[in-house]
Chains A and B, each alone.
Chain A
Amino acid sequence: MPQTERSRDQKTREDPAPLIVVTETGGRSLVTALDREAELTGLTMGMTLPDARAVFPAVVVVPADPAADAALLDRLVAWCGRYTPWAAAEGRDGIFLDVTGCAHLFGGEAAMCADLTVRLESFGFTARAALADTPGAAWAISHFGESGTVVPSDETRETLARLPLAALRLDPATVSGLVQVGVRTVEALRNMPRAPLAARFGDVVGQRLDQVSGDIREPISPHMPVVPFRARLAFAEPIALMADIERGMRHLLDDLCQQLAQAGQGGRRLVLTLYRVDGDVFDITVGAARPARDPDRLARLFGGRLSGFEPAFGVEVMTLTASVTEPMAPAAPALSVAMRHVTAPDAAFCGDRLAPLIDCLGNRLGFDQVVRLAAIESHLPERMARARPALANAVTFAWPSLPPRPLRLLRRPERIEASVPEQALQESPERFRWRRTDYEIRLAEGPERIAPEWWTDDGAAKTRDYWRVEDMAGRRFWICRHGLLRPGESAEWFLHGLFA
């Protein structure tokens, strides 16, 4: 049950609360995996979530994530490479291993089986393993027999005889069809005449029986790792001149960019590895703000970084790997600049022009040092902008049209003393005192009323009334009053920002 185990990691391991994994299908939430505690409380597979809750209200529910499960299973398959190169994932939660000729390395078949389950269990998985002559038989016994069984060649048939039909990897409809006519075990099925069986349930029934007994071969297609984008250059003689190294790098970039273009990808992170004759290996990593596969541009990114490299006695091998890539549309021939002004005045255009700057700054200062202000949807001025990594391309940096806001917002509104004429309480003050200086207000516009975000603020936050005011000297301020005005109450005034 990889799903459960993965989720268990998110909780503390000591947490004894039962956990179930739930998949939404056709508007219903069904339990598709559960841990041992959940099983003990009486929850079962295929239960609906409301039923499960009724049985155990405090059950921990985790939504299913089939993609993550599959990824985890893939990693396990790769890990199984330690036993045999012939490993393949089976279904959602199984792995086939062809251990022909490998078992003696682990002290025999039984020992290998035990080693495998012990290791998997130490990872936190519940593992069931069986070893038999055919994949079908091994599957049957691992699912419906005793875990750890090693079936001797001549006992396959006997061992399988009593297992239920589901052990043959038949689909549920076929199994229930056969069970209904009274055929319940593998042996009973084997004793049926094949022809009428095939006329009713198709050839697959016979096929499965033959696969189990080995009369039909069932090959295992092994897991193959994905090859990354990579280019390599080896020199007959070590090269030590910087110009040669740069030329070599240029060669590698051309090669790699071509690979990327064919795959419709662009590089976000590239690693240049230099193998020196003396055995030292150097990695130079560069990042790009947006996926790139333009050799010139990438060469510029490497340019500055390469200068710090000391070739010593020379470099004999260079490799270039694109370790992070993203899909990138095929490059269209650029339109004339004039056209682009008309058609793309938006963020995309800015992005195009900003990207080289961000690359440049980022590769020098580190990408975590380069930020941009992004708009956050909030009416509260202090929450409206947030610095985001400039590389974060999922963020839109577009800004909406809003009432005028000061260029400089104080980090924290500063209290001011303001006087409001008694007869015009709803109006802005006539003068105020800020940082020990008095300002007399000549012009004012407002109020702009902004209510607190009740869902985040505590109850104490108050509605604010903002005024844009200009003093006699033409200085413009953004001042606000906290709280709605009530007669007889003195208002609190703050200065929150400065216009030009």
Chain B
Amino acid sequence: MTGYIELQVTTNFSFLRGASHPAELVLQAAALGHPAIAVTDHNSLAGVVRAHVAAKEAGIGLVVGARLDLADGASLLAYPIDRAAYGRLSRLITVGRRRAPKGECILYREDVLAYGDGLIFVVLPSEPADKMLDAQVDDLRVTFPGAVYMAAQNLCRGDDRRRLALRADLAARLDVPLVATNDVLMHGRARRPLLDVVTCIREKCVIDEAGWRLEANAERHLKSAGDMASLFQGHESALDRTVEIAERCTFSLDELRYEYPDEIAPDGEAPQRQLERLTWQGAKWRYPGGPAAEVKKTLEHELALIAELNYAPYFLTVHDLVQFARDKGILCQGRGSAANSAVCYCLGITAVNPSRLDLLFERFVSAERDEPPDIDVDFEHERREEVIQYIYEKYGRDRAGLAATVISYRSRSAVREVGKVLGLSADTIAALTSQLHGRSSDPVTDEQIREVGLDPTDRRIRMALDLTAELCGFPRHLSQHVGGFVMTRGRLDELTPIENAAMEDRTVIEWNKDDLDALHILKVDVLGLGMLTCIRKGLDLIKSHYGVSYDLATVPQDDAQVYDMLCQGDSIGVFQVESRAQMAFLPRMKPRNFYDLVIEVAIVRPGPIQGDMVHPYLRRRNGEERVEYPSEALKGVLQKTLGVPLFQEQAMKVAIVGAGFTPSEADRLRRAMATFRHTGTIHTFRDKMIDGMIARGYDADFAERCFRQIEGFGDYGFPESHAASFALLVYISAWMKHHYPAVFACALLNSQPMGFYAPAQIVRDAREHGVPTRSPDVNFSKWDCTLELDEAGKGAYALRLGLRQIKGFKAEDGEWVEAARNNGYADPAAIWRRAGLNGAALEKLARADAFASMGLSRREALWAARRFIAANALGNAKPLPLFEAAGDDGWGLDTPVTLPDMTLGEAVMADYSSTRMSLRAHPMALLRERFNDATPAEALVETDNDAWVTVVGLVLARQRPGTAKGVIFATLEDETGVANVIVWPKTFEKFRRVVLTSRLLKATGQLQREGIVTHLIAERLEDCSPSLDSLAFPPADDAQAPRPAPPPKSGFRHPRNQNTVLFPSRDFH
């Protein structure tokens, strides 16, 4: 039996062509006893890193390669023999990709000749062979002597003997050796259904009509050497050549050594020396009296370690970005494993003083693990683009690129595509997708299928669901990573191919962050963070209005009042802790210092929740449970968190100390969870960890929980260092909220959209904290919200809402209103004339009642604005100059009309319709008397536990968290506050429509209190939305009994239905 190595392998990174993951193919090859396997995706190297990682784990070789599909010739398989040739292959693909639209690649024969040195080519002739083939092969053979082969397959098509003989003749005539391949599309024949589905998705057809576009049989899977030998009887030398080619290609991806850009040390100063110089300079700035001895020791220690691992250039690269941002006044904050070091503090990369934490540098940058440091930098989200363009400008496009993000099929997208292919009706597909919430990859149960009115025994539906499960996780296309930049000293395109991104002016490499990680290639994450924008705007306002200047590091720390506020759960708008879950958690956690905030940020996350670590921690913290440690060894690891592992690092450490993992094994475990989920090795890790811990005398239950926690970290790993960086922003935003509520609300509003709450709740919260608020007005408002001196309160500021709060009003118009205002506008025509706003824009202002300072009521203003709209429609866009001088608008006399006044209810509803809030009153305040039986939300606090109560309020949000199967959380708002309503699935089924469609909801049920958190467990629900309608459209005084509602007339929305859009809530469906 001859050896055999498969050289033509299409993975699922040739999107919608291959039907197996790279790792599956590699493992199958190893199982078949092949010494190596090649990966040749179509014009792409996107899947090679995953194959490389799997091959290393499986202990077989990997031949890196690509299939080059040419526009003017036969396709070629190309394998680089060494690093230099790899660089050329990568550049070749880059050339083809950059000249084509996103996701495509256009290559010509001459490109191959230009970049083909050091590559081995296998020609894939078309059938029947192209006329051009002779010339193409001749060119290749002459240019690259000894490096050209021709492929032959035996795919059981009936006349294969003849085909083989013909191909052998052709190869002999062209004087190139014949090599056997199986043109593999899948790792095993069982993948055929999925392969067919994927083909149909690509061809956009239904499986029943796909016909000859599908493969006739399942032969294109990996085969054993024995099988290949029997298929190639008489052509044994073609089999031997597979081994020959693989042996010639000695290149391994491990050779891709990352080299730092030179720019960071411009004057020829050694990077380490420069880093040390900058660090000690920074130390003087951070510690005005000079660093304490202890700090000095830490710095020296860290610098020594950096020198040992040669990471100085990396720190300098990040420092350079941060420096740029600082010069431009862009707020930024580093996070990540290495970010919370003393060096980074001195370099200004982070504002978290490391002495406030007790983080060991080695834990993140460790010599023994050989893991690169990890620093992500968050910038203000509105100004991140400036930083990105700076990087491109500094390093050039051939040396800097964004990492890719592999967009994969998730259950929703997969079921939609598979359903279409299997010919399910759009309706059935919609019904199936409705059951697959979000990103979950849980299998769909028969129960769920029956619930949407489908038959779970229907063969096609079952098939669709099975195939969907298989398709999930398949890559679909490459997209750009949110901000992961790779910068190199040499050409980046010799590291990995670069392609165009969907966004103009962006280029993306073919590898994602896991691939880069696996090859130890460093990237810097340049991310946008809304809260930084908000804080910067807030600090600016404090400076301009209060004359005090702060930055992230100098905001007064350890302010007890700030912690008092957080303990009350008073955290609307505060970074990270404003969510419903966090607000409920704060009063139980009672944070009193910075480290408490670090824990607070990390604990309400899938990891600790899945690991069931939250409650034990709380019990111990509140003294309800004794703090004890699973073992003396783990005490060191878990002491900070009272014996309960909460952070990702701790979970890893538990695996090391508790289960006897080596550090690199623990790291592989984390990776296996997070990224290469399909390697199928998770179970071995699981057994190893749990058995290891039990063997060391730990409780089986504790071991199980620790493992589940690591599983939970898989999706959203949250290490202590990240939490620490976030905790600082938590503190600063809370500090601002407490001491400068007007500033905080103003900055939040001006940074929208961000965070959890709509402007209405932010404004309401500000008012509750004593900030006077004023509505948008053309004579006072800017585009942004501003602070105005409040005449009533001494030195206090009032919040003036900006024109940005007006629905549909454009920023450009807003700026014109601001710019042309001078001493104010006397009438709408003045705005029209001076600011150049058209009628539609004026109408939007009028709808927001922004002409009040002119003495115009909303209706009068609308009436006036309407005239400009009509004028626009007639083409009289501008007033005639002569009339303008005369102060006349030139359209003749306008008969004055008397318009009916608005009732308060009408005004409130009109406010909501234009600005999604009202400063006049809450709709519930006006409706209160109709709901005598309802308890105001604020009174719930004093109501007895288990009492039977009714609340009525606007629905702010409906949530159905994945962690609470089927339970619905609704947030209701009335004029006094917010009430949390829980609807159990049984109740939900009974009141389904009411829960899902009401804008004003009445809920009756039992009160349940835990700590200071109060819930209403709803038993009865009622849709009170018609009451809102009656506010907006009060019946006339002499009204008769209301007529029966007319049938809905198709095509337009009756004004009575308009309100449905007024109170949008955040809904799960």
Contact = CB atoms under 8 A, between A and B. Distances in A.
A54 B451 CA distance: 11
B993 A448 contact: no
B360 interface: no
Interface string B454-487: 0000001001000000000000000000000000
B158 A55 contact: no
Contact of A201 (B870, B997, B1049): B870
A448 B997 CA distance: 60
A468 B1055 contact: no
Given A57-B431, A164-B1055, A447-B158, A377 B217 contact: no
B1047 A58 contact: no
Contacts of B192: 451, 454
Contacts of A290: none
A140 B487 CA distance: 70
Interface string A39-62: 001101110011101111110010
A379 B212 contact: yes
Given A176-B1058, A454-B193, A166 B1052 contact: yes
B417 to A, nearest CB: 15
Given A46-B1057, A180-B847, A448-B156, A93 B1069 contact: no
B377 to A, nearest CB: 36
Interface in A113-147: 126, 128, 143-146
Interface stretch (A190-198, A245-253, A292-300): A190-198
A51 B158 contact: no
Which of A29, A63, A181, A454 has the most C-beta atoms of chain B within 10 angstroms of its own C-beta?
A: A181
Given A50-B434, A448-B158, A172 B863 contact: no
Contacts of A450: 216-217
A403 interface: yes
Interface string B217-228: 111000000000
Given A54-B434, A55-B993, A126 B1047 contact: yes
A205 to B, nearest CB: 11
B900 interface: yes
A48 B897 CA distance: 40
B156 A447 contact: yes
B209 interface: yes
A369 B422 CA distance: 34
Given A58-B453, A175-B1055, A455-B422, A403 B158 contact: yes
A111 B1050 CA distance: 28
A32 interface: yes
Contact of B895 (A162, A171, A196): A196
A56 B992 contact: yes
Interface string A157-198: 000001010100001100111011111110000001101100
A207 to B, nearest CB: 15
A187 B162 CA distance: 90
Contact of B216 (A91, A171, A379): A379
Interface in B855-873: 859, 862-863, 866-867, 869-870, 873
Nearest to B874: A202
B996 A55 contact: yes
Contacts of A92: 1050-1051
B1052 A445 contact: no
Interface string B1023-1045: 00000000001001000100100
Nearest to A448: B158
A63 B426 CA distance: 9
Interface residues of B, number: 74
Contacts of A466: 158
A463 interface: yes
Q: Which of A17, A54, A91 has the most CB of B within 10 A?
A: A54
Of A93, A450, A455, most B-chain CB atoms within 10 Å: A455
A426 interface: yes
Nearest to B847: A180
Contacts of B1052: 166, 171-172, 175
A400 B212 contact: yes
Contact of B993 (A42, A50, A403, A468): A42
A454 B1040 CA distance: 68
Interface in A414-446: 426, 445-446
A458 to B, nearest CB: 8
Contact of A55 (B230, B997, B1057): B997
Contacts of B1053: 46, 172
Contacts of B215: 451
A57 B434 contact: yes
Contact of B1050 (A32, A164, A201): A32
A182 B426 contact: no
B451 A45 contact: no
A180 B870 contact: no
A33 interface: yes
A468 B156 CA distance: 13
A468 B422 CA distance: 34
B1048 interface: yes
A200 interface: yes
B390 interface: no
Nearest to B992: A55
Nearest to B1023: A42
Contact of B451 (A46, A57, A61, A468): A57
Contacts of B774: none
B866 A201 contact: yes
A455 to B, nearest CB: 5
Interface in B880-913: 891, 894-895, 897, 899-902, 910
B452 interface: yes
B20 to A, nearest CB: 17
Contacts of B506: none
A189 B1051 CA distance: 23
Given A166-B1054, A199-B891, A456-B208, A182 B158 contact: no
A92 B193 CA distance: 45
A24 to B, nearest CB: 9
Given A53-B434, A378-B211, A466-B158, A181 B218 contact: no
B156 A449 contact: yes
B217 A463 contact: yes
A465 interface: yes
Interface string B150-181: 00000011110110000000000000000000
B434 A379 contact: no
Contacts of B1055: 164, 166, 175-176, 179
Nearest to B893: A195
Contacts of B1050: 32-33, 45, 92-93
Nearest to B435: A57
A142 to B, nearest CB: 10
B1046 A184 contact: no
B430 A181 contact: no
Contacts of A177: 862, 866
A450 B427 CA distance: 34
A261 interface: no
Interface string B899-941: 1111000000010000000000000000000000000000000
Interface of A: 17, 29, 32-33, 41-42, 44-46, 49-51, 53-58, 61, 63, 91-93, 126, 128, 143-146, 162, 164, 166, 171-172, 175-177, 179-185, 192-193, 195-196, 199-202, 376-379, 400, 403-404, 426, 445-451, 454-456, 463, 465-466, 468
5 contacts: A42-B997, A51-B996, A56-B992, A93-B1050, A377-B211
Given A51-B997, A57-B431, A179-B1055, 14 more contacts: A41-B993, A50-B434, A54-B1069, A128-B1047, A143-B1047, A162-B1040, A164-B1055, A377-B209, A379-B211, A379-B214, A454-B193, A454-B196, A455-B460, A466-B158
Interface of B: 156-159, 161-162, 192-193, 196, 207-219, 230, 422, 426-427, 430-431, 434, 451-453, 460, 463, 847, 859, 862-863, 866-867, 869-870, 873, 891, 894-895, 897, 899-902, 910, 992-994, 996-997, 1033, 1036, 1040, 1043, 1046-1055, 1057-1058, 1069
